[in-house]
């Protein structure tokens, strides 16, 4: 098993290219099930999660081929039995999104209930209710969802009782081949949802309103293939921005899609970090020794502060000159990084869905354990900003969402490397 060794205390200087968004790429890959023509995805991140999805799609009959560094060619001309077994779905939640496209295209599917990070319950009931609303029969049997719509899906009005990114995306993937009109209300508005809608439209779908709370979908009988470039990863961009703020120095994030991270830029500016936006690039700078100001944040659906940046921002706030309050409203049990940050010197008290962070702390290197994807990178940030040597164990979590992290940081002067335990 790999671990990452960090010798902290070095400011970061240089450029970091931002790759395609994991959270968009996985749903775009699932869209390959909706057509018998090739779907070519450019700006694809090469991650453990995208490899898992490719393995599942291959099991379902979709041929995948990597072309060059970041181009993925998917072709589901002849699908196999629409069955997604537990061993291929348990590794991450996004694999569950093959259910809707399979039913939409083949009329039936048997898909295992999903797995994923241990950051609290993320039930799929909204996904299943959307599928039922579109006319499918759905039953649960020994951990599997068995769905059937032999005469195809039919458009419906679906009003989500809560905002859910996954359910919004999954409903879109179901409804594009349904007969008639589907109206989705109380939708999530994340940039990745608009990216999926734009790709589906390039394939011949008729989706409007993505990026707002109401999405209208007029079903079409079939979709064609297309070539699509995945939107830049706002979480990767935000993570490196926070790393530069914590370690000090000046880093330019190339092709960072700055409009997708306005809540973060605002929070960093309030913390005293300099943010300069030029086109699609963002430069983050803090002179070493410049104090960091405490900032209270509350996670919220986009365009609010992203829950996937909460752990990283907590690592930064431990360095702030004062007390900050971090409130998590999206997922329960998403403060598992707090005890590990405390091992490095942070002073954090967790009360339910709130964490009180008292600074300024002086991070000092120690062995720590990653508990989930975003928690693991918060420990990297603390290690970069601290003194001494930090060992981050169980970094397979990190590989689910960050490509070439050590190389990107090393090119900016960080003393960081990967090794076998």
Given CA atoms 35, 191, 399, 280 in this order, what sign does their dihedral have? positive
Please identify which of the residues 117, 187, 199, 412 carries the catalytic annotation.
117
How would DSSP label each residue in 261-303? GHHHHHHHHHTT-EEEEETTEEEEEE-TTPPPPP--EEB-STT
> Half-sphere exposure of residue 381, counting CA atoms within 13 Å on the CB side?
30
Strand partners, 134: none
Is residue 270 marked as binding? no
Given CA atoms 215, 218, 221, 227 in this order, what sign does their dihedral have? negative
User: Are the C-beta atoms of residues 370 and 421 closer than 8 Å to each other?
Assistant: no
Closest by Cα among 265, 342, 340, 337 to 306: 265
CA distance 421 to 418: 9
CA distance 268 to 275: 8
Burial group, residue 97, by CB count within 10 angstroms (0-12, 13-18, 19+): buried
Is residue 90 marked as binding? no
Is residue 372 marked as binding? no
Burial group, residue 394, by CB count within 10 angstroms (0-12, 13-18, 19+): middle
Is residue 308 marked as binding? yes
Is residue 123 marked as binding? yes
Helix (H, G, I), strand (E, B) or coil at 45: coil
Helix and strand element counts for the chain (H, E)? 14, 24
Is residue 124 marked as binding? yes
Based on the residue annotation, tell me whether 187 is a catalytic residue of this protein: no
For 346: left if phi > 0, alpha if psi spans -120 to 50, otherwise beta; the answer is beta
Is residue 22 marked as binding? yes
Strand partners, 305: 299
Is residue 28 marked as binding? no
Binding-site positions read 22-23, 93, 122-126, 308, 330
**Active-site residue list:** 117
Binding-site positions for phosphoenolpyruvate read 22-23
Binding-site positions for UDP-N-acetyl-alpha-D-glucosamine read 93, 122-126, 308, 330
């Amino acid at each position: 098993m790999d671990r990452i060794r960090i010798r902290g205390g070095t400011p970061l200087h240089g450029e970091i290219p931002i790759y395609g968004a994991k959270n968009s790429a996985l749903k775009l890959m699932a869209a390959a099930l909706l057509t018998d023509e090739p779907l070519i995805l450019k700006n694809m991140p090469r991650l453990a999660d995208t490899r898992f999805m490719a393995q599942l799609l291959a099991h379902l009959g979709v041929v995948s081929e990597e072309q060059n560094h970041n181009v993925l060619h998917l072709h589901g001309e002849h699908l196999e039995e629409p069955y997604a077994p537990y061993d291929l779905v348990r590794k991450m939640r996004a694999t569950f999104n093959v259910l809707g496209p399979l039913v939409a295209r083949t009329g039936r599917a048997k898909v295992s209930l999903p797995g994923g990070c241990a950051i609290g319950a993320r039930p799929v009931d909204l996904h299943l209710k959307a599928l039922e609303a579109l006319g499918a029969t759905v039953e649960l049997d020994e951990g599997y969802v068995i769905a059937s719509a032999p005469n195809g899906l039919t458009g419906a009005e679906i009003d989500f009782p809560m905002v859910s990114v996954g359910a919004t995306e999954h409903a879109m993937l179901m409804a594009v081949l349904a007969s008639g009109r589907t109206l989705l209300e109380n939708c999530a508005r994340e940039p990745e949802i608009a990216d999926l809608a734009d790709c589906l439209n390039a394939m011949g779908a008729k989706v409007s309103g993505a990026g707002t709370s109401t999405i209208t979908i007029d079903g079409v009988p079939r979709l064609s293939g297309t070539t699509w470039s995945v939107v830049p990863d706002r979480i990767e961009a935000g993570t490196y921005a926070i790393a530069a703020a914590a370690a000090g120095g000046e880093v330019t994030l190339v092709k960072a899609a700055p409009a997708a991270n306005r809540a973060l830029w605002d929070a960093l500016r309030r913390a005293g970090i300099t943010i300069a936006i030029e086109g699609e690039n963002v430069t983050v700078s803090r002179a070493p020794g410049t104090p960091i100001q405490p900032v209270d944040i509350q996670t919220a659906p986009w365009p609010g502060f992203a829950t996937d940046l909460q752990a990283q921002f907590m690592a930064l706030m431990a360095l702030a000159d004062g007390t900050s309050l971090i409130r998590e409203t999206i997922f329960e049990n998403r403060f598992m990084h707090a005890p590990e940050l405390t091992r490095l010197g942070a002073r954090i008290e967790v009360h339910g869905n709130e964490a009180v962070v008292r600074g300024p702390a002086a991070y000092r290197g120690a062995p720590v354990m990653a508990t989930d994807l975003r928690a693991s990178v918060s420990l990297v940030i603390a290690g970069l900003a601290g003194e001494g040597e930090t060992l981050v164990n169980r970094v397979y979590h990190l590989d689910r969402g960050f490509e070439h992290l050590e190389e990107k940081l090393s090119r900016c002067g960080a003393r960081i490397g990967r090794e076998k335990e």
